[in-house]
Copies of this chain bind each other. A is one copy, B any other.
C-alpha cells in the first residue's frame, strides 16, 4: 500500500513538473537513440565482418598432370575435414579461363597444350577462418597425393585480421564511450529535474517525512521516465530500421535484444540517477 502510494506520488510529481519531465524524458530518448543506433551499427558491422571473412579462400593446387584418382582422393580428404564449409573443384579448363581473365590472353593462342594445374577452392567454417588455423591445415594438405602447393591470400587475410582487430577495438571503445556519455547525460538531466524541486524536498523533511518516504516517489519517477523514454526510443528505432531497410539498405540486421537492452538500460539508469540525485538533498544538517 505504501508502495502503491509512492507510485501514485511519483506519477503525480511528474504531472506537476510536466515541463521538466518532458525535457528530461526527451533527453533520455535522444540518448537512447544514440545508444540504439550504435548497437545497430555494431551489430551490422559484425555481420559485415562475418560476410567478409566468408570470402577468405584456400586454393589447393594439384600437379599440372595429376591423375584423376589423386584428384578424387584429395577431394574426399578435403570434404571429410570438419573445418571445411565448401570445396569447389577448378579443372584445367577452368584455370585456362581464369588465365585469360587475368592476363588478357587465351592460353591456347600461346601454347598448344594447357600447362595450368587443376585446383580446389576451399572455404572454411566461420570459427576456423584465421591465419593460424589455415597455416596448420595447409601444412597437412600439402602431403596429400600429387598436391603441389596450398595457396591462400596470406596478405589479404593478415590485413583483414589486422583491420578487423582495429575496427573491433574501435567499435568497443566507441561503445564504452557512448555508454559512459549516455549514463552521464541521463544522470545530469535527472539531477537537474530533482534540483528544481530541492525546496520541496526540504519542506517534506520539515514535516516529518523519512528519507525513504521522500525518495521513493522520485525512484518511481526515474523508473517511469526510463520506461517512457525506452518505449519512445524503441518505436523510433523500429520505424527507423524499417525505413532504412525499405528505402536505403535492405541488408540491415536487427536484433530484438537491442530493444530489451535499451529498456533495461533506461529504467536502470533512471532509477539509480533519481536515487543518487535525491540523496544529496536528504542529508540532514
A interface, CB within 8 angstroms of B: 19-20, 23-24, 26-27, 30-31, 33-34, 37, 61, 64, 102-105, 110-111, 115-117, 148-149, 151, 166, 169, 174, 177-178, 181, 184-185, 188-189, 191-193, 195-196, 248-249
| B110 and A181 contacting across the interface, CB-CB below 8 Å | no
**Smallest Cβ distance from A254 to chain B, in angstroms?**
16
| A105 and B111 contacting across the interface, CB-CB below 8 Å | no
A115-B104 CB under 8 A given contacts A185-B30, A188-B27, A192-B24: no
The answer for the CA separation of A195 and B149 in the assembled complex, in Å, is: 75
| B196 and A34 contacting across the interface, CB-CB below 8 Å | no
| B34 and A181 contacting across the interface, CB-CB below 8 Å | yes
A23-B195, A27-B189 are known; give 15 further A-B pairs, CB within 8 A: A23-B191, A23-B192, A26-B188, A30-B184, A31-B185, A37-B174, A37-B177, A61-B103, A64-B105, A103-B117, A104-B117, A105-B115, A111-B115, A188-B189, A192-B192
With both beta carbons as reference points, the residue of chain B lying nearest to A181 in the complex is identified as: B30
Q: How many copies does the complex hold?
A: 2
A61 CB contacts on chain B under 8 angstroms: 103-104
**Smallest Cβ distance from A42 to chain B, in angstroms?**
13
The answer for the CA separation of A26 and B64 in the assembled complex, in Å, is: 70
A249 CB contacts on chain B under 8 angstroms: 166
**Smallest Cβ distance from A155 to chain B, in angstroms?**
11
The answer for the CA separation of A116 and B103 in the assembled complex, in Å, is: 8
**Smallest Cβ distance from A92 to chain B, in angstroms?**
12
The answer for the CA separation of A111 and B248 in the assembled complex, in Å, is: 53
A195 CB contacts on chain B under 8 angstroms: 19-20, 23, 196
A115 CB contacts on chain B under 8 angstroms: 105, 110-111
With both beta carbons as reference points, the residue of chain B lying nearest to A61 in the complex is identified as: B104
Q: Which of B34, B149, B193 contacts A34 (CB 8 A)?
A: B34
**Smallest Cβ distance from A31 to chain B, in angstroms?**
7
| A188 and B23 contacting across the interface, CB-CB below 8 Å | yes
The answer for the CA separation of A185 and B19 in the assembled complex, in Å, is: 15
A117 CB contacts on chain B under 8 angstroms: 103-105
| A184 and B111 contacting across the interface, CB-CB below 8 Å | no
With both beta carbons as reference points, the residue of chain B lying nearest to A191 in the complex is identified as: B23
